[in-house]
Structures are given as C-alpha cells and as structure tokens.
C-alpha cells in the first residue's frame, strides 16, 4: 500500500486494489497502524530517500485510516 502512495496515489486510491476491497475496515486500519510502526522503527536515523518515502507514505496511510 505504501508503495502506491509513494508512487502518487492517495490512500483512498491505493485501497482500491482488489485484494483490499474484500478486507474488513478494522483489518485494514490495524494493518495500516502496524505498517506505520514498522517503518517508523526501520527509519530511525536513516537518511535513505527510499526509506524516508515509504515511512512518510505509511504514516500518511495511518492518518487517513484514523479519519
């Protein structure tokens, strides 16, 4: 999901992938939260642009799921 957001899609657009359409709202939200936490840990102190992009996209998705 984060890769789609990095590529320029909004979280709403990224969630239109057929696999995600069959998931529960609660399941997608839980995954978005876990994904953001994992990438935040990976990103600790990283200056790598790819890592920073994925971390930012994951956090964007997490925030979107909280709206």
* pLDDT, tens digit, 9 for 90 and up, residues 8-55: 999 999 999 888 888 899 999 999 999 999 998 887 777 788 888 999
pLDDT attached to residue 17: 86
Contact indicator for 12, 20 with CB cutoff of 8 Å: no
**pLDDT attached to residue 20:** 80
Length of the chain equals 67
pLDDT at residue 22, rounded to an integer: 87
Exposed e or buried b per residue across 27-65, where buried means at least 16 C-beta atoms within 10 angstroms of its C-beta: ebbebbeebbeebeeebeeeeeeeeebbbbbbbbbbebb
CB 56 within 8 A of CB 48: no
pLDDT of 63 > 80? The answer is yes
Token pair 């790598």 is found at 48
């Amino acid at each position: 999901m984060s890769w789609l957001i990095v590529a320029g899609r909004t979280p709403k657009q990224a969630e239109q992938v057929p696999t995600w359409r069959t998931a529960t709202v609660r399941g997608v939200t839980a995954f978005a939260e876990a994904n953001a936490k994992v990438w935040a840990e990976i990103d600790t102190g990283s200056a790598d642009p790819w890592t920073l992009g994925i971390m930012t996209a994951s956090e964007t998705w997490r925030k979107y799921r909280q709206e």
